Amino acid sequence: MRKLHSLISLLLVLLMLAPCALADAPLLQAASDWNLADTPLSVTLSISLQAHAPFDETRTAMLDRVLAPLSLNLYAADGESGVSVLMNGNELLTMAQKGDAVQFSCMPNVSYASLDGNALELLLGTTSDSLDLRAVDGTFEKWIDDGWVLSNAILEPFAEYGKRKSVKTTIKDMGLARSCTDYTFSKSKLEEMQQTLLSLCPEGDLHDLIASLTFSGTQKLRVYRTEDEVPLRVEYNGVCGVDGKLRTVKLVWRTKRESGETRDEITLTSPAKSGTDKNTLDFERIMTFSSGKITMQGTCSYKVTASKQTTQTEVTFDLTNRLENDSDNVSGSVAIKQQLPGEDYATKRTITPNVVLSGNAEAPEISGTIGYQEEKRYGTTEECVITLRAARASESLWKDTAATLELSTLSAETLQNLRSQLSGAIATAIVRPLIQVLSAEDAAFFFYEMSDEDVQTIRQAAESAVEIE
């Protein structure tokens, strides 16, 4: 059961990193106006498994044959999600979440909730690593794209705060700067500065970030521009923070926008004014545009220290979009190497999409494959290829139930009994039908290292249960 939960968790992570993340990327053209975050999606996928720790090669091959008749249907919409396990197209089990509540088709007529919102974790436990996605969820790319708009828009509104001088400075890989303007905002002008930035910045993640910040003390901004007033380098130095937690921020952004190529390089440090918390970021992205083809390559190194615990994330990406028949055809690789607090090794996850995004904003369609490999200190721990097809969902997987059980009201013993009952019900819902259709060789996965007598007893019990039904 825990291995099934681990596989489903893995697939959910891949789904989060793949079609929805791709649809937000500047790499796309045909799907550039999609808004998958607000579109109810139904994703049908199947998996071909090459490695699954701690199983050896023989046991993994057995599991791959067991998975062959199975597929998953994933549902995602605002405030709702769910997954159905199907065998040859027939539903075996459905798990759905709505808000802080979760329900299972094998335990009908009741939903489970938790005041702290972790009902699923209380019932099934946590089996997958905590994956910090801040470096790969598209946030930095969105900041850059909106920051470009903002850096152009401030030219006139901020003119009274700036001291401009003529220069002839080469910004490496970006171009020749012919002016440099230093902007200074005193304490009395901070609110005016922030409101002006908000009025000029497009709605989105960067706008929300600026709105959430509290600025303290003198703020300094330096912008190098071409003779056509195009920004090439932006520097920011100041103290700001969220929720009263101030940081000393130093940012350097080098950028180029030319026909056929865009290039961005960012370095940022933000140590806390008090304490040891600190964030550092090094980000580079190069995009090229030619007839029928867009490429996006880059790296990102992101280090977060909070409460004396450090998470280090390193990302490399190399993606290509070939535009064919009004569709985006995306292929390439994204590698995420992350070391979590308390670990003396890093986990590397490599995702290789080969997907087609077609249709339109009202009827999006995504199809193709996503390869996944996970490597830890001693080698490959997960490797699989996922085949998927996604489209707008017609209905939710959530079903209204007669009762909702608040898990926080249960004693530890009662909660443990419920976990055992649920685990058994899930295993029965999936394993028993599988045993009926699998060959003896394939079904041997469930009976690995069992005696022939025990295997026969289980088979007879399963067959008797089906006859009774």
For residues 272 and 239, give the distance between their C-alpha atoms in angstroms, rounded to a whole number.
Answer: 9
For residues 218 and 215, give the distance between their C-alpha atoms in angstroms, rounded to a whole number.
Answer: 9
Contact 219, 190 (CB under 8 A): yes
Per-residue pLDDT at 34 = 67
> Residue 169 region, left (φ>0) first, then alpha (ψ -120 to 50), else beta?
beta
Per-residue pLDDT at 423 = 84
Per-residue pLDDT at 81 = 83
Q: Domain extents for the chain?
A: 132-254
pTM above 0.75, yes or no: yes
Residue 141 has pLDDT above 90, yes or no: no
**Higher confidence at residue 31 or residue 409?**
409
For residues 55 and 7, give the distance between their C-alpha atoms in angstroms, rounded to a whole number.
Answer: 13
Per-residue pLDDT at 15 = 45
pLDDT average, residue stretch 149-170: 96
For residues 31 and 359, give the distance between their C-alpha atoms in angstroms, rounded to a whole number.
Answer: 8
Per-residue pLDDT at 79 = 79
Q: Dihedral of CA 288/293/298/302: which sign?
A: positive
Residue 280 has pLDDT above 90, yes or no: yes
175-185 and 261-271 strand pairing: unpaired
Any idea which residue has 């997954």 for tokens?
Answer: 83
Give 404's strand partners.
Answer: 111
Per-residue pLDDT at 18 = 44
Banded model confidence at residue 117, pLDDT cuts 50, 70, 90: low
Count helices and strands (H / E) in the chain. 10, 20
Residues 6+ apart with CB under 8 A from 45: 11, 15, 71, 72, 74, 386, 387, 388, 389
Per-residue pLDDT at 151 = 96
Per DSSP, the residues of 111-127 read EEE-TTS-HHHHHH---
For residues 117 and 99, give the distance between their C-alpha atoms in angstroms, rounded to a whole number.
Answer: 8
